[in-house]
Amino acid sequence: MTTPLNIPKSVTVKAGHVQPLWAGHPWVFRQALAGVDDGIMAGDEVIVLDPHGKILGRGLYSSSSAIAVRMFSLEGTVALDEAFIRAAIERAASLRRAHGLPNERPGEQTTGYRLVNGEGDGLPGLVVDVFGETLVVQLGTAGLKRLEGAIADALTEVMGPRAIIDRTSPQIAQLEGFTLGDAAVRMVRGEIPDALRFMERGFRFELPLELGQKTGYYFDQRPLRDRIEALSRGSRVLDACCYVGGISLAAKRGGAREVWGVDTSVPAIEVAKATAALNELEIHFEATDSARAFQKAAADGGWDVVICDPPKLARKRRHKQKAGGGYRKLAASAAAATAPGGILAFCSCSAAVTEELLQRHLALGARDAGRRAVIVDRCFQGPDHPVLAAFPEGLYLTVLLARIY
C-alpha cells in the first residue's frame, strides 16, 4: 500500500470497529483508534486505515473530541480542497432544487432552508442555512475552521449571497481548539444585515440577529408546520416551546379558531408577536413555561391540537436514560392538556432518542395522566436535512402525532 504523498499521516482503527466505516459511517470515535501517527495536529487531514493497512477513507482529525476523525471520503487520494468543497456545495444546492427549494410559487414562497447539512451532504461538521440573501454558517471542527476561506469562496460562487455570517458555537470552538472573534455576529463576507429576512411557505419572517438559537431558525420542523396547518381547521391550538411562532402561524392559516403560543424566551415571544403582525394573523403569544401552559389547558378541558416541542433533553447516548423521565413527564402533562380525541404532536430533537423509545415515553406518560395515546402519523426532518443511510445519528428529529383518548 502506498500512502498519498500529500497526506503522510494516518490513523488506524481497531479490529471490530471497521464495518460501520466500510459501510459509510462518517465518524471514527477515539475509543476505536488503535494508533495515531506522530505529529498529527487538530484539523489535519488524515487517512483512516483498518488493522491490515487497507484504506477506509480520508477525514479531518480532532484532537480533543470524542469523535477523532470525521470522514469526508471513502477514498484515500481525494483531498478536501477548494474543488471538493465547491463540488459538494453544488450537489447540495442541486438536491434542494430537486425538492423545490427555493420555492417561488405564490402562497408557497420559501427562501429559507438548510443548504448544507454536514454529514448528509458529504461535509461533516459544516452547517449552512439560507436566509434569503444571507447565508449563516456553523463550523463544527478545527479542520473546517482552517478551510473557512475556501468554504466562503465556494458559497459565494455557487449561491451569490449578499452576506455570509459565522454563527459557530463558542462551546464547539473551545472543544475543537480554535478561536472565534469577540463580536456576537461574525462576518465572513459582505455587510452585516439588520435582520435575517426570508420566506417560508408564504410566510414572511424578519429575525433580529441577536436571536441566537442555532443559526436563527428551525428549518427542520417545516414538515410538521405543514402537517399542523392541515389539522387545525376549527381547532384550539396550543403551541408549546413555540420559539418565534412558525407552527402557530401555520395553525392560524389552517383555520384554527384560537392559537396560543408559549415559550420561556421573552425575546423569542416578542419576535413571534411581530411576525404574526407582519403576516396579519391574530395569535396570542405568552412568555411562560410549557408546564404552566399545559396545566392551564388541562384545567380548561384540554385543547384540540397540542404541540410539545421541547429543547434537546438527551445530548448524548449516556443521557438518554435520565432524559427518559423528562420525556415521560412532558408526555403526561401534554396528554392531560389535550382534549379527548384531540391531536398531540410529541417531538424529540435528540438523535439518542429513537422513534421506538419516544413512543414508549409517550405511552407511559399518557398512562400516567390516565389517558391513552394512539399514533396516527409521524414526521421527521425535511429533505433539506438529508441523512446518510450508514449514519443513523443523522436522523435526529422525530415527531409522533397521536390522538389522545
Reference 345, options 284, 401, 398; nearest CA is 401
Extract long-range pairs of 86-91: CB within 8 Å, 24+ residues apart.
86/153, 86/154, 86/157, 86/158, 88/116, 88/121, 88/122, 88/123, 89/115, 89/116, 89/121, 89/123, 89/128, 89/154, 89/155, 89/158, 89/159, 90/158, 91/121, 91/122
Decide if 264 contacts 288 (C-beta within 8 A): yes
* Identified catalytic residue from 241, 242, 308, 349: 349
Measured in whole angstroms, how far is the alpha carbon of residue 365 from the centre of its chain?
Answer: 26
308 is catalytic: no
Omega before 102 cis (within 30°)? yes
Decide if 378 contacts 400 (C-beta within 8 A): yes
Q: Which cell numbers in the block locate residue 1?
A: 500500500
- The DSSP call for residue 110 is B
Cα(110)–Cα(250) distance, integer angstroms: 14
Q: How many CB atoms lie within 10 A of CB 157?
A: 12
C-alpha distances out from residue 376 to 32, 49, 224, 358, Å: 40, 46, 14, 15
Cα(62)–Cα(230) distance, integer angstroms: 45
Coil/strand/helix, residue 228: helix
Cα(282)–Cα(272) distance, integer angstroms: 11
Cα(45)–Cα(69) distance, integer angstroms: 9
Reference 65, options 180, 143, 155; nearest CA is 143
Q: How many CB atoms lie within 10 A of CB 169?
A: 15
Cα(289)–Cα(241) distance, integer angstroms: 8
Q: Which residues are catalytic?
A: 349
